[in-house]
Amino acid sequence: MTKRTSKSLAWVIAVCMFITTLMPQVFATPILPDTGNDPQSEEQAQTEQNTEFQPRRPAWYTSITGTIESMEEKDGSVEILIVSSEGGHDVFILNADTAIYNVQLATGTEIIGFFRSSGIMTLQYPARHTIEAVTAAPKETLTIKGDVFEASEELRALLSSDGELVIHIGEHTQIVDANGDLYKGGSIAGKPLLVFYHVVALSMPPQTTPDTIVVVEKAAPAATEPVTPVIDDRFAITMTIGSTVVGQGRMLLPPPPVAPQIINGRTMLPLRYVIETILQGDVSYDDETRTITATIGDQVVIMVIDNPEVNFIGVDVIDYGQAPVIADDFTLVPLRAFEMFFAELRWDSETSIVTIIP
């Protein structure tokens, strides 16, 4: 090695050692914007730095979209097996507190279910989720976000708990409860919401003016009124052939002892369930004469097993072409026998669903 090479090598080593001594000082010094020694500006810069790295909370709800494969009533709740949009299976558990908004629950229906992000999920397949809100799956450009939104004075709007969406209440924004009625519970800030929207502004975070906001909360019953299975007579009651699942608005009613059936081409409903649970009437049965006496308000109705004629006392005697029958020790009667007690009765042959409009 020449002397010239030795000197060059020694010079390189010295420079490297000098740089090494500076490294800890360089990286230990935070790089802050030049604030001109203004204490207020330094404090503002520090606040912005802290805010930037604050961890965001998760959204109040996690959602899964899927198609209903089957439904089963269990211990006062309904378990819905769905095929998710990713191709797997999940079980939605619906109870009396579940908000059912603008959707008809039936096999083949595509739905989106919302459950608590903080909830405990057991390690099993398919995964089971206690659903707090369910609605029809969004189509095309519609988006539905489930979260708690807090008022933001800085934004003059509502900000989702995960910081991912800002909503402004517009002139045409509808704020409703799970029944679809105008919400009258005051401020929606701090309450779980389903936000339906189409367009967002390209900002950080995105901002939108929703089409509809659904407030997900259970209405408290009046203190002086007892809680009954039917709490609102303004909403359709649905029953499905071969199923004991009965819904009314956002509620699941107690299941009947026997499912509706098709007999001789006629839709047959459980008599005692319709009279006592839905119509709040009374039913008596004479075993010797096989005569049924039903009283709904001031109206008395007489039916006889194996006789297609129904006697509406003081009104008319009508032959419905199908007599009441006993199935599994329970009486089934033709759907049309209840026509005079409801605003409308509808039958959907494709879905096998009976819709009763009180």
270-282 pLDDT, tens digit each:
999 999 988 889 9
CATH number at residue 189: 2.40.50
Kindly indicate the confidence band of residue 219, based on its pLDDT and cuts at 50, 70 and 90: very low
Compute the average pLDDT of residues 191-202.
91
For residue 6, pLDDT over 80 is answered with no
318-350 pLDDT, tens digit each:
898 899 999 888 999 999 888 888 878 888 888
- Picking from 347, 187, 159, 356, the residue whose alpha carbon sits closest to that of residue 256 is 356
Same domain, residue pair 270 and 347: yes
Same domain, residue pair 211 and 289: no
In a domain, 270, yes or no: yes
Contacts of 258 (CB under 8 A, 6+ apart): 244, 270, 327, 328, 330, 332
In a domain, 50, yes or no: no
Domain boundary among 215, 246, 263: 215
In a domain, 230, yes or no: no
Alpha helices in 185-323 (DSSP H): 271-272
Cα–Cα distances in Å, from 213 out to 101, 136, 177, 236? 11, 14, 8, 22
Same domain, residue pair 250 and 328: yes
Token look-up 């900000």 returns: 159
Token look-up 């002086």 returns: 224
Same domain, residue pair 324 and 341: yes
In a domain, 186, yes or no: yes
Distance between CA 243 and CA 331 in Å, rounded?
A: 16
CATH number at residue 89: 2.40.50.140
Same domain, residue pair 257 and 314: yes
Same domain, residue pair 244 and 334: yes
CATH number at residue 341: 3.30.457.10
CB 208, CB 199: distance < 8 Å: yes
Q: How far is CA 337 from the centre of its chain?
A: 34
In a domain, 281, yes or no: yes
Same domain, residue pair 90 and 119: yes
Domain boundary among 102, 136, 170: 136
Same domain, residue pair 241 and 302: yes
Domain boundary among 79, 113, 136: 136
Same domain, residue pair 115 and 183: no
Domain containing 174: what range? Answer: 143-215
In a domain, 37, yes or no: no
For residue 298, pLDDT over 80 is answered with yes
Same domain, residue pair 248 and 332: yes
Distance between CA 332 and CA 326 in Å, rounded?
A: 6
In a domain, 41, yes or no: no
Distance between CA 273 and CA 254 in Å, rounded?
A: 9
CB 266, CB 335: distance < 8 Å: yes
Domain count, the chain: 3
Distance between CA 180 and CA 105 in Å, rounded?
A: 16
In a domain, 273, yes or no: yes
- Picking from 260, 290, 271, 250, the residue whose alpha carbon sits closest to that of residue 133 is 250
Same domain, residue pair 347 and 272: yes
Mean pLDDT over the full length of the chain: 80
89-138 pLDDT, tens digit each:
999 999 988 999 999 889 899 999 999 987 665 566 788 899 999 999 99
Same domain, residue pair 275 and 328: yes
Query: Which of 155-159, 189-193, 207-211, 216-220 bottoms out in mean pLDDT, i.e. has the lowest?
Result: 216-220
